[in-house]
Structure 1
Amino acid sequence: MAQNIDWPQPPEVGQHPIRLCVPTWAYEDRYSGQPIIPHIILGPYNLMRKREYLESHNVEHVLCIRDPSEQRFLRPLEVPGIQFTFMDVPADVSKVNIIPYFVQANQTLDMLISQQKNVLLCCSDGIDKSSAFMAAYLMSTYALRALDAVTFIQNNRYCATPSANGYRIKLIEYEPICAAQRNVSAGALKNSRKRLDDDTGDDEMVDDAQNNGATELAGGARRPIAPLPSFKRAR
């Protein structure tokens, strides 16, 4: 039976710094899952075998991050009412570009959250791979720095630790990409508003000319003129 989940408050956009506040934590907690933000739970793959946990947290989708060598034992299970998405990421992330994988996972999470579905984001142990992808989502969505994103996660799942020579480096590389995407989005929004203001200003000028309805002749006499034709602006 589904229970009321105590979802953590999401971070503020651009929040910095985020301090580490060690939660009440026992070693065994790493084998369970912890809510990170509304609709996303971070944990290990073995939670997929715990039907009671999945039902109590109303999990409807599992997004599992694995490397190709893990395909044999990290695979879909027949769990009624739950869909599975597996993302195969190269094992040696330090030598490949995994930013596209971050982007793909972010899009998947955005879609599921927009559908109000609870997601279990997992990897084999819920410590390295999945926590890095959770951090990437926080960086993209809430404009957090890599360190702040990881700290926010650790405040809820203390064992979450992206590998120092692998995923942590990739998260730092992802920082300027997220910043550039935000700048592009902000610029596009600004230009859109400017075009709207320009269109409104042009329409007002036409209205003023039509309302005046007169032009000055020699000697100060005035005569009416025909209303200006109305044109639809090409868009």
Structure 2
Amino acid sequence: MFNGNLTEEQLKNVIQGPGDVEWKYEMRRECQEILPGLLLGPFVASKSLETLRSLNISHIVCIRDQKEAFSVKPRFPDQFMYLVLDVEDNEEQNLIRLFPSAKAFIDTAIANGGRVLVHCNGGISLSPSFVVMFVMQHYALSWEDALHMVQNRRYCISPNGGFLTQIKEYEAIYRANRAVSSYPAMPRNVSRRKRSDDDEEEENRDDDRKRPLVDHTTHTYRPMMPVSVDDPYAMET
């Protein structure tokens, strides 16, 4: 779901975000809307059914360290659609491998008019990394602009060093995928024609190898006679 219709000025405004928001420490325990239909926050924000309903949340991405699975878990599975990702909240965790499933879940939800909350335990490092990668690809931003965009809405985010490295790497990945998808495909009939020409050329070579010797003066077939090494006149003409 690439939004490539924004002007440079509009993108600048998107990255800067609302300038009239005064960030307060207690807002860490709340969720913030990063782009239309996508919200980011801590686990505590997903525990209040009243809050979720007031925000018209329909889908929730629950990203948790495997050690937290006993407490960080879907609280209202009969009320919302959930995607649960079990990861390790450390710098060695591969987020890029897990991101496609999260992106597909978010894309589908928003495309169908839903609103998605993405959360981890604190909403500081793990879940923000996924959201930064999402908005980076959604708006075709650099990793710096994507990070600033999310930070300008949820000021407390701070991906760890390993996650930040992967965010940088993902910019090259998504740009390469976009370049490949935009490259015009070669018509299939061209490859078939080339194969047909190659086959015909090969057949012609086979015919040349099988063609009998011909007397070019009479255009008649003249078989080669065996030559005896014992005949002293064998080589005379």
TM > 0.5 between the two? yes
Q: 1:97-119: CA deviations, max 9, x gaps?
A: 32121122111111111111111
Check if 1:191 corresponds to 2:188.
no
Letter in 2 for 1:73: S
Partner residue in 1 for 2:176: 180
Give the match for residue 4 of structure 1.
none
Aligned: 1:60 with 2:91: no
Cα-to-partner distance string for 1:165-219 (whole Å, 9 max, x where unaligned): 12111101111101101101111xx338xx5xx9xxxxxxxxxxxxxxxxxxxxx
Match of 1:227 in 2: none
Cα distance in 1, alignment partners of residues 166 and 12 from structure 2: 20
TM-score normalised by the chain length of structure 1: 0.69
SS at 2:97's partner residue? helix
- Residue 28 of structure 2 is matched in structure 1 by 30
Structure 1: which 5+ residue stretches go unaligned?
Answer: 1-9, 199-235
In 1, Cα distance between equivalents of 2:144 and 2:20: 15
| 1:78 maps to 2:72 | no
> Is residue 150–residue 161 contact of structure 1 (8 Å, CA) maintained in 2?
no
Task: Report if the CA contact (8 A) 2:83-2:102 is conserved.
Answer: no
- Find the counterpart in structure 2 of residue 39 from structure 1: 37
**What stretches of structure 1 move > 3 A for 4+ residues in a row?**
10-23
Corresponding position of 1:144: 141
CA contact (8 A) 1:13 1:144 kept: no
Q: Where does structure 2 lack aligned partners over 5 or more consecutive residues?
A: 191-237
SS where residue 58 of structure 2 aligns? strand
TM normalised by structure 2 equals 0.69
Structure whose CA Rg is larger: 2
Can you list the C-alpha shifts for 1:54-74, whole angstroms capped at 9, x where unaligned?
A: 111111111011121111111
Partner of 2:185, secondary structure, is: helix
On the 8 A contact 2:31/2:41 being kept in 1, the answer is yes
Matches within 5 A, 1:101-112: 101-112=98-109
Q: Could you tell me how far 1:78 is from its partner in structure 2? A: 3.1
For 2:110, the equivalent position in structure 1 comes to 113
Q: Is the 8 A contact 1:127 1:159 kept in 2?
A: yes
1:171 aligns with 2:167: yes
RMSD of aligned alpha carbons: 2.8
Per-residue CA shift, 1:131-161, capped at 9, x if unaligned?
A: 1100010122221111111100111111122
SS at match of 1:87: strand
Q: Is the 8 A contact 1:48 1:54 kept in 2?
A: yes
Mapped contact 1:139–1:175 kept (Cα < 8 A): yes
Give aligned-pair identity as a percent.
32
Distance 1:84 1:96 in 2: 22
- Aligned residue identity for 1:178: Y
- 2:51 partner letter: Y
- Secondary structure at 1:126's aligned position in 2? coil
Report the residue type matching 1:26 in the other structure: K
Among 131, 134, 140, the residue aligned to 1:134: 131
